[in-house]
Amino acid sequence: MTNQYRAQTSHSAEYFGDTRDYWWNLDFLGLIAVRLAFAQIGSVLDVGCGVGHWGQLLARVLPPDTRVHGVDRDPHWVEQATTRAAACRLDHRCRYSVSTAERLPFADASFDLVTCQTLLIHVADPAAVIAEMARVTRPGGLVLAAEPNNMSSALVLNSVSSRLPPDEILAGARLQLLCERGKASLGEGNNSIGDLIPGLFAAGGLADVRVYLNDKTNPLIPPYDTAEQRAMLEECSDMKSRDFWIWSRNDTHRFFLAGGGREDEFDRLWASVTEHGDELAKAIADHSYSGSGASIQYIVAGRRE
Ligand SMILES: C[S@@+](CC[C@H](N)C(=O)[O-])C[C@H]1O[C@@H](n2cnc3c(N)ncnc32)[C@H](O)[C@@H]1O
């Protein structure tokens, strides 16, 4: 099953498929664990945990007795995260409950590590969430955010897009940027907030702010015969069959207008990005498609004083 959650209406369901298991190299996270002295961490809070991918992955590079508590505002995801932890034999270490990130139901200084992955890209006020995460971190403890710059994907080319006219590449990037701006202006979060997190951490009083880049890409190289590549292709073809780009057509339209795009431009831009998807599908079918699959995903860490 590529994405058992995708038909569900809860937040981010489109992005909880098998491909999410291939976002990180475990040895890279092991290196981060050494650099940030995870050996001293006994308690973790994973904020906006979804179905638990991030906290359950971190559990693998944390000391074996470290407990992970995940919170999400959606009770459905809390239930699914609990089920997933049991399936991964992590139920003795991971537990889940409902909470919004803006108001965490924990006393000050409750956890050694407070973390999130792709949560801050969805919140109206990331500085307020970072402040709340810092509040529940013990002095000397760590706040750690894994958040992307998603705009960069518009200019990472592949064997098909590298042949497009420059104006078409830039039109796709402009559509994406207007949508990102619109989404943020509607209070639904800035999809490229990763770039700003080091500054937000420092402004929020966190010390010793360190910034790393995920060293994993998700390349597609013929004959696409690894489990990771098969999962990516299945996800692409499934999204395409449902007319889904980065967002649904409705959300893209809503974000585009909120970002200052003109109504009379939308149909042409949507057709251009979705027709590009048709060319990709053809190139995959005849094995002429290849790409590095690079993206910008930061890990930003800061210490609570
Ligand atoms: C893109 S998913 C990330 C899930 C998980 N961190 C991961 O990386 O697999 C974003 C999650 O944040 C949750 N979320 C969004 N806004 C939230 C908020 N203000 N408070 C708590 N959870 C929130 C959503 O319900 C969703 O599960």
The domain spans of the chain are 13-303
Question: Pairing mode, if any, of strands 296-303 and 137-149?
Answer: antiparallel
| Predicted pLDDT at 67 | 98
| Predicted pLDDT at 1 | 54
| Predicted pLDDT at 162 | 95
- Single-letter code of the amino acid located at 15: Y
> Which residues fall within 8 angstroms of residue 146, CB to CB, at 6 or more apart?
54, 115, 116, 117, 118, 214, 297, 298, 299
Q: Which CATH class is domain 13-303?
A: alpha beta
Does 48 sit in the ligand 1 pocket, CB within 6 Å? yes
- Cβ atoms of residues 198 and 300 within 8 Å: yes
% residues pLDDT > 70 (the chain) = 99
Q: Which residue positions in the chain have pLDDT lower than 50?
A: none
Q: For ligand 1, pick from 77, 79, 119 the residue to mutate: most ligand atoms within 8 Å of CB.
A: 119
| Predicted pLDDT at 305 | 97
Give the Å distance between the CA of 178 and the centre of ligand 1: 23
Instruction: Locate 62 and state its tokens.
Output: 């944390």
Name the residue with the closest Cα to ligand 1, atom 4: 50
225: Cα separation from own chain's centroid: 25
> Which residues fall within 8 angstroms of residue 202, CB to CB, at 6 or more apart?
209, 302
Assess whether the previous peptide bond of 166 is cis (omega < 30° from 0): no
